[in-house]
Amino acid sequence: MSLLLNQPPKLCFRKRVLVRSSPHLSYLLVCADPCAANCDKVVMCTFAGGPTPFEEWNKRNEKDLKLCREISKEMGTIGSSNGWVPISKDGVLHLREMNVNHDVDPKRIMLPPLVTLPHCQSQYVTNVAMSSSPEEEDCVVAVKFLGPQLSFCRPATSNSEWINVRISNPCFFSSPVMFSKKDDMFRIAGSGGHLIGSWDLHKHSKLQSLRFQNLPELTKTKRDLLDSCYTSQHLVESKTTSETFMVKWYKKTQNIIKGIPRMKTQAIMVFKLDDEGNAVYTQDIGDQSIFLTMSEGFCVPRSSHLCRRLLNRVKIFDLYEDRYYKLADQ
């Protein structure tokens, strides 16, 4: 997902924004369209059902949706991480707590002014990832910009400032960043999925080549379909099993409405990664599911309300698509 920082008030973006609640509020997902002038382009999902239009939900429970209305008005919202929403304003990022306690104002943490490296840009943001809650002393915030710049900071330290890294390999320029708790590093999957880069606050970097194994036999029709799709790669780490998965998400334009192409998922492929660089195709991820959104991917264990006992599936949750895909059928 790319958003423009410092945008004029009426600037419209075609990418969707997903806001995920904090861990103790993990029953709620909010997906908003930044192009919308009101709440009509907001849908919500709970473990009790699929997406519901904002206005219909609003009639059911006005009070509990105060947070959703506030988020939908934040035109600089950039996804979410660890229960906090990064929001841009006047070229500066700040973090807003996802707090449904309506009697208390949400906490906000200001980040240092962004610094642009030479021959880079810091206007278009791909996504923001955090190692933990920004209130924790050792939290690191990573901002991935469209292009070669990757920036880190520690929001809880005094006189916090950005540490900027220039990525040399262009295969990472448009990919999102995620935090690996297992490796204690921020990781990016390169375009095509054959290379993974890892970085940390100390500018240590590591590149890992992947070897795809156990690939399924595809018919010519299926190969031609996948070749015609827009493909994105998403790294997802399970907090319960410490496994790392790469999900290849194949999408194709289904129709065009008011000049805006709407894409639909055509196929999902999941690969289990190991420390040696093997990427083994699998149709079995165990007692968990994977959620894919426009802003982040994450694993949901059996114990989570979001899982709804629908195990070994990939859930696509977007403004125009809400569906579970059985990995055994892929």
Beta bridge partners of 231: 250
Query: Hey, what's the torsion of the CAs at 173, 143, 317, 312, to 10 degrees?
Result: 80
- pLDDT 10s digits, 218-265: 999 999 999 999 999 999 999 889 999 999 999 999 999 888 888 999
Give how many domains the chain has, as a whole number: 2
Which residue type, as a one-letter code, is found at position 146? L
- As a whole number of angstroms, the distance between CA 235 and CA 320 comes to 23
Per the model's pLDDT, the better-predicted residue between 105 and 51 turns out to be 105
Q: Identify the pLDDT of residue 23.
A: 40
Chosen domain end from 58, 83, 109: 109
Please check whether residue 148 lies inside any domain of the structure: no
- pLDDT 10s digits, 7-65: 333 323 334 444 444 343 334 455 555 555 444 444 555 444 444 554 554 554 554 45
Chosen domain end from 58, 92, 109: 109
- Looking up tokens 């194709």 gives 252
Q: Identify the pLDDT of residue 69.
A: 59
pTM to 2 decimal places: 0.79
Q: In terms of Cα–Cα distance, which of 307, 282, 317, 279 is closest to 44?
A: 317
Please check whether residue 51 lies inside any domain of the structure: yes
Average pLDDT over residues 66-70: 58
Please check whether residue 125 lies inside any domain of the structure: no
Please check whether residue 261 lies inside any domain of the structure: yes
- Pairing status of strand 288-292 against strand 313-318: parallel
Please check whether residue 253 lies inside any domain of the structure: yes
Question: Which of the residue ranges 99-108, 131-140, 154-163 would you say has the lowest mean pLDDT?
Answer: 99-108
User: What's the whole-number average pLDDT of the chain?
Assistant: 78
Secondary structure of residue 71 in the 3-state scheme:
helix
Is residue 211 packed enough to be buried (19+ CB in 10 Å), middle (13-18) or exposed (0-12)?
exposed
- Dump the DSSP string for 15-32: S-EEEE--GGGTTEEEEE
Q: pLDDT class for 68, splitting at 50, 70, 90?
A: low
**Domain region containing 227:** 210-330
Please check whether residue 233 lies inside any domain of the structure: yes
Chosen domain end from 109, 133, 149: 109
- Taking every pair of Cα atoms in the chain, the longest distance, rounded to a whole number of angstroms, is 59
